[in-house]
């Protein structure tokens, strides 16, 4: 692919104009929307409006007048079509980590006599750390990790819940949700899917997969802003039986009765906890609104084509890098990773030249393609700059060695 | 006190001009800052700046460039002087409910052989609900409530942790933090204080009280906005031994090493969980900044004087209402509650006439005096309108009977 061909692909892209909905800085090719989605142009005004009119003028009255009290359910219902769920099976609450914890403890308690959380090594760290905390909390429970291609065989009578990330944060590999879910359920286990790297970029059909539980992130492809609230999904058949350990007042059946005794809401609201973060929820709702009018099939096709073109260009022009991600786009999320011994310094050099990707320890360069605002010419230019960095051996530059924290 | 005298008190108030820092709507007397603090004038611009410059232009780079990664600790350190703690003993994280959960489970686990969370009936509901959830999570634990004046005697060998709200959400009664803490510790229990209705309005000295654990709210007197992030305090002597059940990656000793194994940070950071909510944290930091240059003794003196004047005016002019709150300002928070059989309808009628207080079931009218922006003439006018509502028997008006959710 030449730059001219890439430009032609952009011109033919039915989503090309959607990019204008985002306030991307000049001179930057942003290939990290899988870590932090870009700023929608309308979000600052929305924040302004919520702060000045709803909070400033409405004050406490806005809990009713502007439906603050319903925001977590309302936005959850808007996320539902992204994941193939019913509107009343999704709620926005807390962080992805906290939601993982809620559902892991709920699952362990719902499967007495089973004490194992089964996962894969190298899962996103917070998932494993939270599983460790959930097992420690309930006591007499444990986390076990096995290579993901052996996970179905590892589901024995002690497994209460299988916890997996649908699209791997590093490799981008996408798991077989329907197959693993069915196999786990056949062995009496629940399955908890982390959709953080999936939602807004790949096809998801939780209902069709008969999924039990899921969580996901608001600040990646959903464009909700740094540290945006997360969401959780619980299949309706589990609403009456699964209990949240974080039984805060917003999950109560009648939060404004102020009774001393806890009684969980009958529906998905039982997985809410504390007072919802209204400013952050407004930004998340605005982030989700950027998908309005966007054809979902076209979005997914574009995501795959961007990844394919990146792989083809890197393999043709930068053979020093080794592909980590699946070559088959249907088995991949919307990011692609490559291995290189100097990946960290290469990533810093790329950022320095306006190409923002990220590094994942120990040696992965990760490039994400948020299909709402990344185009084919972006990919071409990014690989061109990568080629020059390799030619320059930029990793010899000590400026690119200092380790920084990047989430 | 006459309106003229109230005006004179305002004129003599050294904090009177601080009110100009807040964007209070015309025609409203806002006596609910104890539920949701008012909007600081500078917060919308701060949100705008964080959204457009830090998020929009800085993108993922702002985790370092704008110290997003340090925000939870930085703002925690700013809260420390409000509660008499060291800067490295406080961190902002999650909601008050989630923080209660973390510290209750941590306390139960740290006191093996003790299985009781001791609290008082009528504590703020989320505290009791969360205690229920914490006890359920660890199993073989329970919550027990006894009248607060008998709580010290009730601390037996089974009590792992005493959980109390320092200023009661309904009555405004303030507990003896030093005395209860010492008594509980003498009996081998930890004490967890909920400072939600205290911080920013009453004197607090956690270090002087040898406090163990505390949580508090960011959206009341700290003006952080609806559903603002909360904070938690853990005395330094407990940092190495107490573990958070919500062991998310931000509480890891080395979050960016992406190792599979959980190892908690050595310091207060171990009580962080997921990715911090940057927009909400910015609003909270701006809320706290409204106390800059405000003399803490003057603030507390004003809070007490406002409550005293409200009690005196209501008792003189509205004897139909019965004081629930302590008469002694030194034993009271910055809000005052009265009982009336028609409290709900009276509260609605007050709101309708521009006086925003709130109702707490079953029969309490609660009026809060955020000393940064409420004056003595506000109190006089509010009581004057209350008198007219009583004269009108406004509770006969069916408009004021429909129950709304107000937090």
Is B127 labeled as ligand-binding? yes
Inter-chain touch A280–B407, beta carbons under 8 Å: no
Q: Which positions in chain B touch A113 (Cβ < 8 Å)? A: none
A71 and A10 part of one domain: no
Is A127 labeled as ligand-binding? yes
Of A289, A308, A343, which one is at a domain's C-terminal end? A289
What is the least distance, in Å, from the CA of A103 to any CA of chain B?
Answer: 12
Band of pLDDT at residue B229, cut at 50, 70 and 90: very high
Inter-chain touch B30–A59, beta carbons under 8 Å: yes
Inter-chain touch A356–B61, beta carbons under 8 Å: yes
Inter-chain touch B277–A229, beta carbons under 8 Å: yes
What is the least distance, in Å, from the CA of B217 to any CA of chain A?
Answer: 10
Catalytic site residue A73?
A: no
Is B260 labeled as ligand-binding? no
Does residue B10 belong to any structural domain of this protein? yes
Inter-chain touch B405–A64, beta carbons under 8 Å: yes
* Residue in A30, A47, A94 closest to B98 by CB: A94
Q: Which of B58, B113, B126 to mutate to test the interface with A (most CBs of A within 10 A)?
A: B126
Can you tell me the distance from the alpha carbon of A238 to that of A191, in angstroms, rounded to the nearest whole number?
12
Inter-chain touch A32–B137, beta carbons under 8 Å: no
Inter-chain touch A256–B229, beta carbons under 8 Å: no
Is A241 labeled as ligand-binding? no
A243 and A365 part of one domain: no
In this predicted structure, the answer to whether residue B406 has a pLDDT above a threshold of 80 is no
What is the least distance, in Å, from the CA of B229 to any CA of chain A?
Answer: 7
B80 and B221 part of one domain: yes
3-state secondary structure of B335: strand
Mean pLDDT, all residues of chain B: 96
Q: Which of A124, A233, A271, A400 is catalytic?
A: A124
* Residue in B56, B137, B246 closest to A23 by CB: B56
Burial of B387 (0-12, 13-18, 19+ CB in 10 A): middle
Cis peptide before B362 (omega within 30 of 0): yes
- Cα dist. B237→A318, B74, B195 in Å? 54, 21, 20
Got the DSSP string for B223-254?
---TT---EEEE-GGGTTT---SS--GGGBSS
Work out the average pLDDT over B186-194. 98
Inter-chain touch A248–B145, beta carbons under 8 Å: no
A104 and A26 part of one domain: no
Predicted confidence (pLDDT) per residue in B44-80, tens digit = 999 999 999 999 999 999 999 999 999 999 999 999 9
* Residue in A47, A59, A121 closest to B47 by CB: A47
- DSSP letter (8 states) at residue B24: P
Can you tell me the distance from the alpha carbon of B56 to that of B53, in angstroms, rounded to the nearest whole number?
5
Is B125 labeled as ligand-binding? yes
Per-residue confidence (pLDDT) for residue A305, from 0 to 100: 98
- Select the more confidently predicted residue: B384 or A402: B384
CATH number at residue A159: 3.40.640.10
Per-residue confidence (pLDDT) for residue A407, from 0 to 100: 41
Mean pLDDT by 10 residues, chain A (407 residues): 96 97 97 98 98 98 96 98 98 98 98 97 95 97 98 98 98 98 98 98 98 98 98 98 97 90 96 98 98 97 98 98 98 98 96 96 96 98 98 92 60
Q: Which positions in chain A touch B279 (Cβ < 8 Å)? A: 47, 225-227, 279-280, 283
Catalytic site residue A124?
A: yes
Does residue A378 belong to any structural domain of this protein? yes
Per-residue confidence (pLDDT) for residue A185, from 0 to 100: 98
Inter-chain touch B32–A129, beta carbons under 8 Å: no
Per-residue confidence (pLDDT) for residue B257, from 0 to 100: 85
B34 and B92 part of one domain: no
Beta bridge partners of A91: A232
Does residue B103 belong to any structural domain of this protein? yes
Can you tell me the distance from the alpha carbon of B124 to that of A259, in angstroms, rounded to the nearest whole number?
9
What is the least distance, in Å, from the CA of A361 to any CA of chain B?
Answer: 7
Predicted confidence (pLDDT) per residue in B96-123, tens digit = 999 999 999 999 999 999 999 999 999 9
Strand order in the sheet with B358-360: B322-323, B335-339, B364-368, B358-360
| Total Cβ atoms within 10 A of residue A17 | 8
Q: Which positions in chain B touch A283 (Cβ < 8 Å)? A: 51, 279
Q: Which positions in chain B touch A270 (Cβ < 8 Å)? A: none
Q: What is the dihedral of CA B129, A240, A253, A243, to 10 degrees?
A: 20
- DSSP letter (8 states) at residue B55: I
Band of pLDDT at residue B1, cut at 50, 70 and 90: confident
Does residue A62 belong to any structural domain of this protein? yes
The domain of A383 spans 3-40+295-400
A102 and A152 part of one domain: yes
Nearest to B33 by CA among B241, B197, B249: B197
Predicted confidence (pLDDT) per residue in B174-184, tens digit = 999 999 999 99
A186 and A129 part of one domain: yes
Work out the average pLDDT over B295-323. 98
Catalytic residues of B: 124, 194, 219-220, 366
- A183 contacts A211 by C-beta, under 8 angstroms: no
Can you tell me the distance from the alpha carbon of B76 to that of B79, in angstroms, rounded to the nearest whole number?
5
Helical segments of A274-375, H only: 278-289, 296-317, 343-352
Residues with Cβ within 8 Å of A300's Cβ and at least 6 positions away in sequence, in order, are A201, A202, A203, A371
Can you tell me the distance from the alpha carbon of B293 to that of B285, in angstroms, rounded to the nearest whole number?
15
* Residue in B38, B139, B249 closest to A129 by CB: B249
B379 and B258 part of one domain: no
Report how many domains make up chain A. Answer: 2
Inter-chain touch A274–B230, beta carbons under 8 Å: yes
Q: Which of A22, A169, A219, A344 is catalytic?
A: A219
Q: Which positions in chain A touch B64 (Cβ < 8 Å)? A: 404-406
Q: Which of A49, A117, A137 to mutate to test the interface with B (most CBs of B within 10 A)?
A: A137
Nearest to A134 by CA among B100, B247, B199, B390: B247
B314 and B395 part of one domain: yes
Of A289, A312, A331, which one is at a domain's C-terminal end? A289
Of A257, A273, A289, which one is at a domain's C-terminal end? A289
Does residue A406 belong to any structural domain of this protein? no
Half-sphere exposure of A225 (CA within 13 A, CB side): 35
Calculate what percentage of chain B has a pLDDT beyond 90: 96
Does residue A405 belong to any structural domain of this protein? no
In this predicted structure, the answer to whether residue B368 has a pLDDT above a threshold of 80 is yes
B279 and B299 part of one domain: no
What is the least distance, in Å, from the CA of A340 to any CA of chain B?
Answer: 17
B117: phi then psi, degrees, rounded to nearest 5: -95, 120
Is B249 labeled as ligand-binding? yes
Cβ contacts from A onto B, under 8 A: 316
Q: Which of A19, A78, A102, A220 is catalytic?
A: A220
* Residue in A57, A137, A404 closest to B245 by CB: A137
Inter-chain touch A136–B245, beta carbons under 8 Å: yes
Does residue B104 belong to any structural domain of this protein? yes
B53 and B159 part of one domain: yes
Locate the chain B residue with the closest alpha carbon to A38. B56
Is A124 labeled as ligand-binding? yes
Q: How far apart are the first and last CA of chain A?
A: 32
Beta bridge partners of B194: B165, B215
CATH number at residue A368: 3.90.1150.10
Is B335 labeled as ligand-binding? no
Strands A142-145, A159-165: pairing is unpaired
Does residue A283 belong to any structural domain of this protein? yes
B236: phi then psi, degrees, rounded to nearest 5: -55, -35
A135 and A238 part of one domain: yes
Inter-chain touch B59–A128, beta carbons under 8 Å: no
Is A400 labeled as ligand-binding? no
Half-sphere exposure of B341 (CA within 13 A, CB side): 3
């Amino acid at each position: 692919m030449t730059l001219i061909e890439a430009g032609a692909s952009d011109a033919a892209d039915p989503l090309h104009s959607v990019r204008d909905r985002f306030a991307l800085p000049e001179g930057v090719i942003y290939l990290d929307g899988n870590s932090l989605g870009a700023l929608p142009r309308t979000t600052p005004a929305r924040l302004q409006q919520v702060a000045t009119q709803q909070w400033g003028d409405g004050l406490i009255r806005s809990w009713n007048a502007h439906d603050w009290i319903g925001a977590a359910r309302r936005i959850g219902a808007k996320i539902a079509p992204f994941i193939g769920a019913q509107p009343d099976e999704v709620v926005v609450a807390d962080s992805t980590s906290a939601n993982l914890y809620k559902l892991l403890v709920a699952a362990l308690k719902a499967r007495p006599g089973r004490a194992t959380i089964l996962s894969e090594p190298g899962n996103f760290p917070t998932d494993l750390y939270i599983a460790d905390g959930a097992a420690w909390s309930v006591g007499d429970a444990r986390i076990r990790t096995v290579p993901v291609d052996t996970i179905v065989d590892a589901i024995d009578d002690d497994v209460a819940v299988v916890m997996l990330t649908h699209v791997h944060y590093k490799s981008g590999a996408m798991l077989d949700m329907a197959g693993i879910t069915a196999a786990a359920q056949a062995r009496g286990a629940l399955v908890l899917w982390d959709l953080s790297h999936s939602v807004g970029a790949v096809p998801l059909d939780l209902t069709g997969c008969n999924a039990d539980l899921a969580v996901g992130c608001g600040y990646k492809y959903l464009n909700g802003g740094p540290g945006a609230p997360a969401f959780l999904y619980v299949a309706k058949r589990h609403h009456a039986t699964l209990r949240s350990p974080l039984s805060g007042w917003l999950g109560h059946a009648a939060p404004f009765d102020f009774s001393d005794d806890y009684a969980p809401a009958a529906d998905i609201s039982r997985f809410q906890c504390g007072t919802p973060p209204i400013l952050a929820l407004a930004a998340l709702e605005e982030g989700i609104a950027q998908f309005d009018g966007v054809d979902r099939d076209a979005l997914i096709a574009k995501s795959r084509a961007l990844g394919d073109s990146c792989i083809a260009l890197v393999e043709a022009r930068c053979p020093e890098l080794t592909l980590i991600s699946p070559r088959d786009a249907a088995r991949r999320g919307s990011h692609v990773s490559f291995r290189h011994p100097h990946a960290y310094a290469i990533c810093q050099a790329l950022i320095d030249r306006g190409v923002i990707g990220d590094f994942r320890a120990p040696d992965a360069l990760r490039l994400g393609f948020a299909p709402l605002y990344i185009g084919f010419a972006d990919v071409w230019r990014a690989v061109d700059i990568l080629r020059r960095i390799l030619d320059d051996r930029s990793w010899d530059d000590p400026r690119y060695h200092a380790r920084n924290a990047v989430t």
